[in-house]
Amino acid sequence: MTERSASGLVLENVRISLKGRILVDLSLGVAPGRVATVMGPSGSGKSTLLAYVGGFLEPAFTAEGTVLLNGTDITRLAAHRRHVGILFQDDLLFPHLSVAGNLAFALPERVRGRAARRQRVEDALIEIGLEAHGERDPATLSGGQRARVALMRVLLSEPHALLLDEPFSKLDATLRAQIRDLVFAKARERELPVLLVTHDPADAEAAGNHVVSLSSP
Ligand SMILES: Nc1ncnc2c1ncn2[C@@H]1O[C@H](COP(=O)(O)OP(=O)(O)OP(=O)(O)O)[C@@H](O)[C@H]1O
């Protein structure tokens, strides 16, 4: 891994092609704690761009360019070594684990010992206002509660950046704004750069209008 000085997430001359046709061609920088919103029509490559940064681009695509995270070149690292946290439209909570079990699953291995791990989970539950709900089955939670668990599960994995693919789109308008503000606040607190794919201009506005527009396919 080579080191460069810029902090945050930096994409240099990223060009992603599908069947010989260029889909995405851009450079961008997202400072720690800030959000860049990725917008564009259906099929313009928004999810593909996140997949490239996250290290899970499908083999149908070819890509060139460089991804730097806090100065480290992660372009060729396996997904699990990139320290990038991802939230999708579906929260993907494990149905066979309790809320606390879902959170514990995300803890890094180096948090050792049952007591230490349990404490981290308890602190996390308090942070999202669900301290009384650790033993609940995730299926019994409200949409907003599930969204908070999903966010906290990603944060517990100690990411250095967040990739969000329309994570609020299934929530109603009020809840959507609340969860969005919570995600942005946590990103600021932890100084995480965020790439957010959305169709909603209100998300872009709330994020400070750093918009990356992808063009029609
Ligand atoms: N695994 C794949 N193999 C081949 N083509 C794919 C694959 N995944 C996506 N594509 C194509 O790549 C293009 C970009 O898809 P992508 O999902 O990135 O678009 P998007 O901007 O996220 O769209 P939407 O807003 O509808 O989610 C589309 O033409 C899509 O059909």
Q: Domain-by-domain residue ranges, the chain?
A: 1-83+159-217, 97-157
User: Does residue 46 line the site of ligand 1, with CB under 6 A?
Assistant: yes
CA distances from 146 to 60, 93, 98, 141, 192 (A): 33, 8, 12, 6, 22
Q: Please give the model's pTM, rounded to 2 decimal places.
A: 0.93
Tell me, what's the pLDDT at 45?
A: 96
Is the pLDDT at 98 greater than 90? The verdict is yes
User: What's the mean per-residue pLDDT of the chain?
Assistant: 94
Mean of the pLDDT values across residues 136-151? 95
Mean of the pLDDT values across residues 47-56? 97
Tell me, what's the pLDDT at 109?
A: 87
Q: If you take atom 31 of ligand 1, which residue's CA is the nearest one?
A: 43
pLDDT band at 180, cuts 50/70/90? very high
pLDDT band at 5, cuts 50/70/90? low
Is the pLDDT at 4 greater than 70? The verdict is no
pLDDT band at 169, cuts 50/70/90? confident
Pocket test of ligand 1: the residue of 16, 19, 47 to mutate, having most ligand atoms within 8 Å of its CB, is 47
Q: If you take atom 5 of ligand 1, which residue's CA is the nearest one?
A: 60
* Ligand 1 center to 174 CA (angstroms): 29
Is the pLDDT at 3 greater than 80? The verdict is no
ipTM above 0.95, yes or no: yes
* Topology at the third CATH level for domain 1-83+159-217: Rossmann fold (3.40.50)
